[in-house]
Structure 1
Amino acid sequence: MAQAASKTCEMCMSAAGSQYCLDCEEYYCENSIAQLRGENETRINSKRDEANQNMKKIEQNLIWFDNAVESVIKAITDESTMIKRMIDKSVAEMISLVKEQSEKEKKLIKMMSDAESVLDAGLKLDKERLELDKIKQDKTMIQKIKHLQEEINKLQIDYLTEFPYIFYNRKSVTEDEIRQLIGTYTIR
């Protein structure tokens, strides 16, 4: 036991070691122990400060990232709104062109009205013919028959050469094709 008290401190090498470390089997003086405690406190404080700085950086980056996410969402929304407007404009232009080109239909309506007039005139002439069949044969009857023939010859029927038609070819669009219209984003 007397030998243990005469051992010197492993850190400062000058003072007598009064405390014995069981793990490393070395002696330490009170000043060296205080120095070790101070170093531990300093290192803990340094690590804690470093961790606090990291947390602040993480918080700042989270705020920045949240703002960037909102910015990306707004950009996607703005771009989709622009694409929708472009689609609406294109659709409106297509509809306008279809309506302009459908003027041929109005020509058909006029032709139908003309055909209806010819039909009405034909029905009227047919009534006159039936009335002529009922009257007595005399020289006025022949004159009336010839007049009826002239009126029949005056009837002008327009023959249709071509009927307009219209149809729509639907284009199949996939979600991937729609996504290709919109920009992309990258998260690192």
Structure 2
Amino acid sequence: MKIFSISLSVFMFFLSNLTFAKQDTLLTEYKHTGDIYPPVFFVTNITDSSFKSAIEAFSSFEELDEKAVGLPIGVRVLKGYRTKQDGTQFTTMMLSASTLGIIPVVSNKEFKVRYDIFVQGKSIAQFEYMMDSTDVNNIWTSSYKDKKATPTEELFLKDTISQFFFDLKKEEKSQAVFAEYKEYFN
């Protein structure tokens, strides 16, 4: 009984630390102050139309234009997945194969969102945000499965916008380019 109470205490302590750590990582909402950034050419592989609207809601850029290829400054936002090369996928695949697919294949993956600021096609600043997640597939249907973002990944994607603007505000090269644009065109 004493071992159970000790392990329960350790478990509760671990949970309280997880909760505390989770509260520390919550992002605060960005409020743009100062000059509005110039209009930019906007490129993304994110098909959700609400993503662009979410960036525009911060009112940091004069305009995000997907068709204005001639603008000197651009913002590129890319999302991607990478399967981690650890023993999880191999072990569960072997276990799944030995049970003829009854046990699912588990793989750890990395979901990454990358923001690039580029001038005349050359990247001057990069901001990467990533999260780890676990994917569970059936061995027989995994090749036919469409790659869709989970609700957690969608929420993470939205949270990166605010963090991007915080990081962009501190990035000196980008701020210098924005100031130079304002000097010549406004």
Q: TM-score normalised by the shorter chain: which range applies?
A: under 0.3
Scaled by the length of structure 1, the TM-score of the pair is 0.23
Would you tell me which structure has more helix in proportion to its own residues?
Answer: 1
Query: Greater Rg, structure 1 or structure 2?
Result: 1
Scaled by the length of structure 2, the TM-score of the pair is 0.23
Would you tell me which structure has more strand in proportion to its own residues?
Answer: 2
